Structure 1
Amino acid sequence: EGAQDAITLDELRDRGRTRDRAELDARTAAITPADVSIYIYTSGTTGPPKGCILTHGNYRQVVTMTESQGALETGEVVYLFLPLAHAFAKLVQFLALDVGGTIAFWERDPQKIIPNLMEVKPTFFPSVPRIFEKIYTLATSVAEDPAKMRQAVEVGMNVRGLAQAGAPVPAELQEAFDAAEEKLFAKVRALFGDNIRVCNTGAAPIAREILEFFYACGVPVMEGYGMTETATVATVNTPESFRLGSVGKPLPGMEAKVAEDGELLLRGPNIFSGYYKNDAATRETLVDSWLHTGDLATIDADGFVFIVGRKKDIIITAGGKNITPANLENGLKQSRWISQVVVVGDRRPYLVALITVDADELPAFAEQHGLEPAEVAGSEQMRAAVQEEVDRVNATVGPVEQIKRFQVLPHDLTQETGELTPTLKVKRNVVSEKNATAIEALYAV
């Protein structure tokens, strides 16, 4: 209300009634699949954003392909917080309109996402890993006994796996499941509004442990893969066919293969036409109709795609060891206290990390340790807590892959400072450039 140049919905309807229907029909009939639908710029995590040319045919095809996988059903209630200029959000809106669903848009306040979910009670929630990480942290931080919680998750995984396979559940296992349902699973589902059918996640890696946790709780978070260049989706897990840790199988009509250097290549009717006014980048990305994704991947015998890491993000240490930083970063981000992690080490003798503290957890940590919230990030107590998490993750990898030193940054990464994209992906180059002095200090002996 009162927004500049805004009109009410009634005014919009009145304008529509005055339009010449014949002109509208003629314009619609004149559109061909090859006509440009939209220019969407990439997020710019690895370089300057590029304008992807997406046609009406691209979007019609990807809508049809995803609907064939049961992505949305008639009557679906969708909660959408993604930026509306994002390719994924655009696809979700098309799908909801196409099948006859309802979309509830967020209130533009991250603190209201969970209250919104509980109010809207969506059946479908498309999101990004950071949101699921936050909900996971919220749900697990109140656990009185972490070991018992892990046992409950294992029980939930087993029971739901047996149910998926149509196999009987032993009485003792069912009894343990019923207890976990009351103490944990039902409470987690309530955070999503208690009506969730399926969630989707993409745009960045997510830890398998988080997927297992939500699956055990009855909140299936299905990971998919795509990019602006594929009109959003290329591969996806579904509740009927999934493999946790993978990004699913290619959509019907999509072809996927792995190049000799491990790069994932894609081909299909939803592949973009090229980059706007950037022929050189187009020629580099589209070769013989195959899209060079820039991601390293493997494909198993059943056709499930597993993303290894971003080609440009792979760290090659001074000793020649190839390391995927996302594995370490995701492990650390499971901590209640940690928000973002950027692992550095390309052409360096060892790995270091830039780590930020979760702003939502500052008051709790401050109260526990007799600090002011503003003192937490630079405190010895927080450094000790982060060191415990680094030690935990280091114990899961070999010596060369371990983080040797780290710096807790005084502030979290944000969109406003240019360190995060609208879908909360970290811009590594920006973070590294801004903290170059801190990085050099970590290598000073």
Structure 2
Amino acid sequence: MREFSLPALYEVPSDGNLTDLIRRNAAQHPDVAVMGRKVAGVWTDVTATQFLAEVRAAAKGLIAAGVRPGDRVALMSRTRYEWVQLDFAIWSAGAVTVPVYETSSAEQVQWILGDSGAVAVVVEGEAHAAAVESVRDRLPSLRHIWQIEQGAVEQLTAAGADVTDETVEERGASAKADDAATIVYTSGTTGRPKGCVLTHRSFFAECGNLVERLKPLFRTGDSSVLLFLPAAHVFGRMVEIAAVMAPIKLGCVPDIKNLTDELASFRPTLILGVPRVFEKVYNSARAKAQADGKGKIFDKAAQTAIAYSRALGTPEGPSIGLKFKHKVFDRLVFSKLRAVLGGRGEYAVSGGAPLGERLGHFFRGIGFTVLEGYGLTESCAATAFNPWNRQKIGTVGQPLPGSVVRIADDGEVLLHGEHLFQGYWNNEAATAEALADGWFHTGDIGTLDEDGYLAITGRKKEIIVTAGGKNVAPAVIEDRIRAHALVAECMVVGDGRPFVGALVTIDEEFLGRWASDHGKPAGSTAASLRDDVDLLAEVQQAVDDGNAAVSKAESVRKFRILSSQFTEEAGHITPSLKLKRNVVAKDFADEVEAIYRG
């Protein structure tokens, strides 16, 4: 057993709640832009004073509608300014926010609203309202539905016109530090989602220590962050509250379809994303270079960036020759890549899945350091992350200051600290199992090095045991295979089988360009090319790269390219892009059998 901790850098208030932050900002930084809001396609600043006023106005409407202290109010929307405004308005009314993924099915909506006992829900659009209405007869506690795109904020503001500021102040102060701030439902890779009760104290401990440890990235009046992750996810929520706590300017965009345009217009100094975003940036840049006949230059530049980053971690540092090559490629390639990321940023924080050493070194080498972290819904997002000035690529960093990470005898990662959840809503049995002996059992397998840097090697329940008795943690090889531009998803199989295999889906965005470059018919799809020798050879390269990270017994011997994607609608992945392995294994059982046939 091994454990590591760092002293707290932030003193969690003995009382009070998250609404204290927006009142403090208005008092201490009244004219500082704390939000960026798109109006008619143009980013417009919202000062701390304006934000507080708009939050209060919406809170008055909730109070007028009969929302009481401790009531649960659900938010079902894409990431947008109103999400943040209404989140703080719900707290200002003394209530508890229940986020719902905007992609949730009617059945999932029914479960979350019903289990939480939500008395009201604010949805974004007609489709979301229809999903709620379709199950409303099974939600006896639900009294109100407001729709953002049909003027929800304006309706609440008008309804609360007679509610006094004093009433809002009283309500806003009603929740204490140890009261629930939000109930975030897990993505539910197995079984029904569980509601994680996160308190105001949880977020103070999480975001306060994060901001202090990464202080140079959170400069009031200068720094800014663009939130494009789902606000319903705990990682997105952490970004929201950390930005308000600092405070720095926060901008929200609903998806990543036009992310490069949004980055160029907002120009954030800090980006928080998931590995797939950074993989897309790299793969898109490489594909564009190849299309322009500059593929060899890009590849040499990438090799230089990786070598330069690796040399930064040595006592000698980069050689004179490497420094010269790096300077040349910085002018030709790296500066253009930084411009794609907004042009002002030097750092990003990545979580949700492993980034991989290759990408970690590549981005640090181009002058845009991606700090990898690790966390769960139950840990209020990041429970470990790399410090800005002592990064160890290949790890998820050191524990959140004020918390403890322990590695149990069986390799499981255990957590302790004020940032942890209080328990699962209406589920005492699951709470007792997860919070045994005062430690949260993550279900993840990991190691701690001598400096307290944590590396995650797999999931306890996802360990595959082959017929030969070899234990295989699929995450390592899957992440390496998935890093290839053509690979959308990968799932390793082989439990009780003679060897390890893999199911692979193809990224349709890159398939068209690849098919054109390789003389394949226009309109080719994964289904039409799944047996194509060139495509098989390309995917084999990805598999070979993955195999290089593991032992021979753990390596993928055979794979199958699937005709379709793993989708959230089909139940193959969660809203946070985690694989539901049991569903995939069931739906693609014939493909798995084909791997081992003969």
| Distance (Å, rounded) in 1 between the aligned partners of 2:361 and 2:527 | 30
From 243, 248, 253, the equivalent of 1:101 is 248
- Percent of aligned pairs with the same residue? 35
Deviation at 1:48, TM superposition (A): 3.0
| Distance (Å, rounded) in 1 between the aligned partners of 2:297 and 2:480 | 20
Confirm or deny: 8 A CA contact 1:378 1:408 kept in the other structure: no
From 270, 276, 281, the equivalent of 1:130 is 276
| Distance (Å, rounded) in 2 between the aligned partners of 1:219 and 1:12 | 42
From 73, 85, 89, the equivalent of 2:236 is 89
Where do 1:11-30 residues align within 5 Å? 18-30=162-174
Deviation at 1:384, TM superposition (A): 2.7
Tell me which moved more, 299-308 or 73-82: 73-82
| Distance (Å, rounded) in 2 between the aligned partners of 1:396 and 1:252 | 31
Where do 1:232-271 residues align within 5 Å? 232-271=381-420
Confirm or deny: 8 A CA contact 2:260 2:341 kept in the other structure: yes
Q: Which residue of 1 aligns with 2:305?
A: 153
Residue by residue over 1:327-375, the C-alpha shift from the partner in whole angstroms, topping out at 9 and shown as x without a partner, is: 2112212222111100111121111111011111121122122223344
What residue identity is the alignment partner of 2:409? E
Confirm or deny: 8 A CA contact 2:225 2:251 kept in the other structure: yes
Q: Which residue of 2 aligns with 1:400?
A: 553
Deviation at 1:221, TM superposition (A): 0.8
Distance 1:123 1:292, change over 3 A: same
Where do 1:41-440 residues align within 5 Å? 41-70=185-214, 72-75=218-221, 76-108=223-255, 110-141=256-287, 142=289, 143-144=295-296, 148-157=300-309, 160-161=312-313, 171-368=320-517, 369-379=519-529, 380=532, 381-440=534-593
Confirm or deny: 8 A CA contact 1:83 1:89 kept in the other structure: yes
Distance 1:209 1:56, change over 3 A: same
- Structure 1: which 5+ runs fail to align? none
Confirm or deny: 8 A CA contact 1:235 1:250 kept in the other structure: yes
Confirm or deny: 8 A CA contact 2:224 2:268 kept in the other structure: yes
| Distance (Å, rounded) in 1 between the aligned partners of 2:232 and 2:566 | 21
Give the 3-state SS of the residue equivalent to 2:258 in structure 1: helix
Tell me which moved more, 396-405 or 122-131: 396-405
Deviation at 1:231, TM superposition (A): 1.1
Give the 3-state SS of the residue equivalent to 1:111 in structure 2: coil
Deviation at 1:105, TM superposition (A): 1.6
Deviation at 1:147, TM superposition (A): 5.7
Distance 1:159 1:17, change over 3 A: farther
Deviation at 1:8, TM superposition (A): 7.4
Across the aligned residues of Structure 1 and Structure 2, the Cα RMSD in angstroms comes to: 2.4
Confirm or deny: 8 A CA contact 1:159 1:173 kept in the other structure: no
What residue identity is the alignment partner of 2:219? E
Give the 3-state SS of the residue equivalent to 1:226 in structure 2: strand
Distance 1:95 1:334, change over 3 A: same
| Distance (Å, rounded) in 2 between the aligned partners of 1:7 and 1:279 | 39
Task: Please say which structure displays the higher CA radius of gyration.
Answer: 2
Distance 1:13 1:35, change over 3 A: same
Confirm or deny: 8 A CA contact 1:207 1:331 kept in the other structure: yes
Deviation at 1:412, TM superposition (A): 2.3
Equivalent pairs, count: 441
| Distance (Å, rounded) in 2 between the aligned partners of 1:334 and 1:416 | 24
Confirm or deny: 8 A CA contact 1:352 1:442 kept in the other structure: yes
What residue identity is the alignment partner of 2:259? I
Deviation at 1:156, TM superposition (A): 2.9
Distance 1:16 1:72, change over 3 A: farther
| Distance (Å, rounded) in 1 between the aligned partners of 2:310 and 2:393 | 14
Deviation at 1:396, TM superposition (A): 4.8
| Distance (Å, rounded) in 2 between the aligned partners of 1:10 and 1:36 | 27
Residue by residue over 1:63-82, the C-alpha shift from the partner in whole angstroms, topping out at 9 and shown as x without a partner, is: 21212212633132211111
Deviation at 1:9, TM superposition (A): 6.2
TM-score by length of 2: 0.69
Residue by residue over 1:47-105, the C-alpha shift from the partner in whole angstroms, topping out at 9 and shown as x without a partner, is: 43211111111112212121221263313221111111111111111111222222222
| Distance (Å, rounded) in 2 between the aligned partners of 1:183 and 1:33 | 52
What residue identity is the alignment partner of 1:244? I
Confirm or deny: 8 A CA contact 1:295 1:311 kept in the other structure: yes
Tell me which moved more, 261-270 or 136-145: 136-145
| Distance (Å, rounded) in 2 between the aligned partners of 1:274 and 1:57 | 14
Confirm or deny: 8 A CA contact 1:82 1:423 kept in the other structure: no
What residue identity is the alignment partner of 2:594? A
| Distance (Å, rounded) in 2 between the aligned partners of 1:21 and 1:117 | 37
Residue by residue over 1:210-257, the C-alpha shift from the partner in whole angstroms, topping out at 9 and shown as x without a partner, is: 111111111111111111111112111121122111111111110111
Give the 3-state SS of the residue equivalent to 2:182 in structure 1: strand
Deviation at 1:14, TM superposition (A): 6.2
Deviation at 1:19, TM superposition (A): 2.9
Tell me which moved more, 205-214 or 394-403: 394-403
What residue identity is the alignment partner of 1:300? D
TM-score by length of 1: 0.92
Distance 1:169 1:391, change over 3 A: closer
Distance 1:252 1:388, change over 3 A: closer
